[in-house]
A = this chain, B = another copy of it.
Amino acid sequence: MNSRERSIAEGILLTDQYQLTMAQLYYRMGMHEKMAQFDHFFRSYPDYGQHKAGYCVNAGLEWLLDWMESLQVREEDISYLSSQTGNSGEPVFDEDFLSWLKSSPPFANLTMKAIPEGRVVHPDVPLTTVQGPLAWAQILETSLLNHLNFQTLIATKASRIHHSGGNGLLLEFGLRRGPEKGANAGTRAALIGGADFSSNVGASHILGIEPKGTHAHSMVQVFLALGGSELDAFRAYADVYPDDCLLLVDTVDTLESGIPNAIKVFEELKQKGHQPVGIRLDSGDLAFLSIQARKMLDEAGFEDTIIVLSNQLDELVLWQILTQIRKESECCDVHPDRVIDSLVYGVGTRLITSQGHAALDGVYKLVAVRDNAEWVPAIKISENPAKVPNPGNKHVWRAYDQRGRATVDILSLEEEDPRKMDELVLHHPAEHAVFRILQQAEVDHIEPLLEEVWVDGEVVIEIPPLERLRQRRLDDVSKLDPGVCRLMNPHIYHVSLTEKLWNLKRDLIERLD
């Protein structure tokens, strides 16, 4: 894709064909400027096969807003659309519609609300709501989902891996295995969700985070091929980077060659007054080798060095490695905490692709249309009750219990304020018979989650720095019940409808049935 092609493929045409044909239909029927509301939400947590998420981390909004802000309908886009022909050989899009499309500034009259990036989010809860003229709100669907689904998926995976690894720093290494240019979005999402640093230079730069890296096997191989040794390679590295010396020790033989050579070089560095950083292990039994490496480094007097682990790591592998280290260290006369506290995790493929669950099932559903002055809730009756979207314009709230723990996300009608209700009758979103009553006395506070981010064609929030998004994620995760954060079989966080919203949904379903 060259730069001209990129400007075409990443502009207004970054959409599905049916969004444009529907927009023309609305235009033709005089409905294109009717006000509509769409909700964006996902239906279920990522399910990685043997394990499953109990929460997600919301991400992607800023880059969506960048796309919306920069969008123009250009002559080139219009001329392409006008060249499309249907089965009859006649143009698919008529001139009047295309003139309207060109003259109508994209998303000019839309109001978009969103749950801020970095916050913990749950299924069925509107993460983004879009209110505005039907045709433009419809056209936005594909790009909105494209920008938000992927980053939320990756931020969620990063949070899981981060928590599985305990206090160890998490480095994102996935650019080479990531989904082409989408890998930069993956790096950003990983940094929001749990990665401390990334190897991706460009993405780190634009996000204001220092990129990290060690060296590859190829560096050692070059020295070997030219008649030198692993030790020569390590010495060269230490010469060039005396204060940033992190050596990959598994090119030849980790225990027999790599670590002993690293220790030699570290001793030379120390004599010159430098502090060696540590080693990286990229193959073999990483738990066993970590223990051995720690022991050898400690015995050589390099107690402050770190051990970077890499090679197909994810939350389950880390869990297994840490479990094995806890069991096995004592037999080797090393305290497990000595080993674990020095670990850093380099995670590539399985983070940037969300191994086991490669797509968040985020959707964008029509929930209301304004007919004259009145908003009419919209519904789609599918065969699966769990898939019926919650109708109408809604508020989203999060209730915290007396311990400060998030206890339920509540969807209410727009005119409702659960903070003012004496008791909350909370309905399961799909099951008729399931509800519970929450007394205000049980609640510490209730917080609205959605904020306006786009009004009348403009971004209306100050874009927060990455640090702030990370802090939101840390705050929110710390307020979850530990059972919700469990890697496997997590406790189910409650998402409920108020009595009034539930009644509206039930009435609409019954009317259509």
Contacts and interface: CB of A to CB of B under 8 A. Distances in A.
A404 interface: no
A20 B353 contact: no
B376 A200 contact: no
A244 interface: yes
Q: How many copies does the complex hold?
A: 2
Interface string A235-252: 011011111100000111
Contacts of A287: none
A425 to B, nearest CB: 27
Interface stretch (A104-112, A202-210, A315-323, A440-448): A202-210
A31 B222 contact: yes
A241 B284 CA distance: 61
Interface string A10-46: 1101111111111011101101001010100000000
A193 B185 CA distance: 25
A70 interface: yes
A217 to B, nearest CB: 5
Contact of A378 (B8, B224, B387): B224
A152 to B, nearest CB: 11
Contacts of A21: 213, 215, 240-241
Chain A contact-residue range equals 35 or more
A422 interface: no
A384 interface: yes
Contacts of A381: 251-253
A187 to B, nearest CB: 9
A160 to B, nearest CB: 16
Contacts of A90: 243
B243 A16 contact: no
Listed residue (A21, A151, A202, A226) with the most chain B CB atoms within 10 angstroms of its CB: A202
Nearest to A84: B210
A275 interface: yes
A202 B151 contact: no
A132 interface: no
A222 B142 contact: no
Most buried by B among A14, A141, A203, A240: A240
5 contacts: A2-B66, A22-B218, A26-B222, A178-B179, A225-B376
Contacts of A361: 177, 349
A54 interface: no
A377 interface: yes
Interface in A179-237: 179-186, 188, 199-206, 210-222, 224-227, 236-237
Contacts of A431: none
Interface in A299-356: 349, 352-355
A412 to B, nearest CB: 20
